[in-house]
Structure 1
Amino acid sequence: MSGNTFGHLFAVTNFGESHGPAIGCVIDGCPPGMALSEADIQPDLDRRRPGTSRHVTQRQEADQVEILSGVYEGRTTGTPICLLIRNTDQRSKDYGDIAQTFRPGHADYAYLHKYGLRDPRGGGRSSARLTAPMVAAGAVAKKWLAQKFGTRFRGCMQQIGEVEIPFEGWDHVPRNPFFAPVADVSALESYMDALRKAGDSCGARLRVSATGMPLGLGEPLFDKLDADIAWALMGINAVKGVEIGAGFASVVQRGSTHGDSLTPQGFRTNNAGGVLGGISTGQDLEVSIAIKPTSSIISPRETINLQGEAAEIVTKGRHDPCVGIRATPIAEAMLALVVMDHALRHRAQNGDVAPPMQPIQASFL
């Protein structure tokens, strides 16, 4: 009940603190026999790690993953897989001044009242650094799903602050530090440089999708696939909104256009985002998330101290002016973990189900 384990049949227990000796996770329930090494996991961690451009925190962490258990002679054994990532560039002295006060927008105040004490160093357990183990676990899930179903997970930035980003193509995403689907990111660089100079921060909107989805994943009523997707993505630090398919745009749509028509050749549209009645249709999963502005900024903010007295605070240290910049691989990982868990649950209960008809093509016209 402590909230540190995600999933049912593919269960991931996350451990560690931002400024502790290491962070990591234990994956319980990974099917045996899959070839797995650190090289399968490291690329996604490299995409998420800090210090990769001037637009993100300059904390230098290699985020080198170590597999401590659950793999023998290069293959998963079906036993718990422990993944460890050592912290090597902590600067705890940056947080000495905030031990007696509360940072606006952070979990400091809530943590103190829940637990009676808190680790002020980098936010401790509430730090976004704890998303790294989930990215590592997501890489394991991605590999199994790709081999089993051909499922692929991709994400990109749709908006940063007030700047909307048009979609030009997936090929652009790995070629710039913003995970932006455009060839020219000079406007984004100028925007972020001005923001950093002003000592402020901004939010972001990201898109994450899954192609090659198996049909039939999800459990009514309260374990619906889209409900679990929303729950998982809301578990990412700083996420304040999740949309499935058309999302809030559904409000202005008519029933005659929102419902995705079926034809012998496939679905005409995907307003549902690949889920009907909480069950996957085989179409692409389409999800968008809203990420709040980074709370750690150098501009003075109004707060209180441990005595309840008025105070002013400046958050020192190395922080992302937009945490959304590095959130794309995190969102991909969490979506993959949801799909992985539901795939194993579906296999356990419905593995011998023979549908009375062949599925239509998932791609729409």
Structure 2
Amino acid sequence: NTAPHITAVNFLGTNPSPAKDLAFSVLFDEPVTGFDTNSILVSGSGVTIGELETRLLNNQSFEVLLNNCSGAGTIGIHVIAGAGIVDLAGNALATPSNSVLVTRILDLDPPTITGFELTSVNPILVDSATFQVTFSEEVVFPSFYSPSYVFTNLVSAPEIGEYSLASNPTVEIFLGEIEVMDVSSNGTLQIIMPEDGFITDLAGNALLAFTSLVYQVQPPLYYQWALANGLTLGDNDGGEDNPDFDPLSNIQEFYMDLDPIHADTQHKIVGRYAELEGTNYFTVTFPAPLYSTFDEGGYEGYMNHEYPPFYSGYYLQVFTNLFTAEGEEGLSFEEWTPALDEGLPSLTPTHEYRTLRILPATNNLPSVFIEIEVQVGF
């Protein structure tokens, strides 16, 4: 016949708060029934609430919502004893909770957009992009809301895919199906955050004015390369310049021209004796195509696209061998991140540095011979 007790009442937010909707949590030491709006006493001064609401989280914890608050001052809640709250055995709550007060401050300033950044794009295809939009304060971004946009010199309207509040007040927006119509010039994509009341700050102030974010869409690198080399682009692959109409010939030259290993290996592949995690290892750092994955002793990556210029893949195989007085011995390796690229020259947009550390640790090994073979396959 032990009465239930309240173990905690907490404000779910930052105090002081400008929010128009204030939330509290109430936790009991055992399951209870009968907890509703009649169980709550609202106190304070200077703040008016539009609606009091309770939500069941589980049979021991509840949420209390003070919705549509207005004014500035203090407001809080406490749970009333003897208000119909009982445990499963019928024992009533005998002790009320302490009051939890929140200071509400007025916020009449609307949110603004302070940053717009392209965070991810495939430099070869340029068919999709991810953007981050940063607001001046934490915002409410409803799930049904979608930005609008206008575009020039694009084949069709891009698709706005998933977007998310990556880290409020930053919104991440993914755009797909981006394709330049005239490959000799850039396209323009203009993302618009309109004044429609859907995006607000916590106090309910709506994003003001039409905020236009412009992104210049460049043609894919293959087309830029083809035009720079005087090729006449055909319907699909620029193969008109090849007597045998072999689309792979132009593509292979494109990759070889942009491949930093093929073009100039000097100073771009480096072996180092490095201390990693307190242990000495032989390491090798080298350029590798973007989007490569580590797969069974080598790097392998493929890029596919609905248009023939990009029916291509690349394959980079790494071999490691140890040579000692006793003979040759193969060694295993694993990738080390971030790459040990300090002091190395910059690469083309299609490549990045990768670092391997040779296993086992090499405190007492005299030398390591590392062979790197790069194959471009189609």
Q: Shared fold (TM-score greater than 0.5)? A: no
Structure with the larger helix share: 1
The TM-score bracket by the shorter chain reads: under 0.3
TM-score between the two structures when normalised by the length of structure 2: 0.20
User: Which structure would you say has the larger Rg?
Assistant: 2
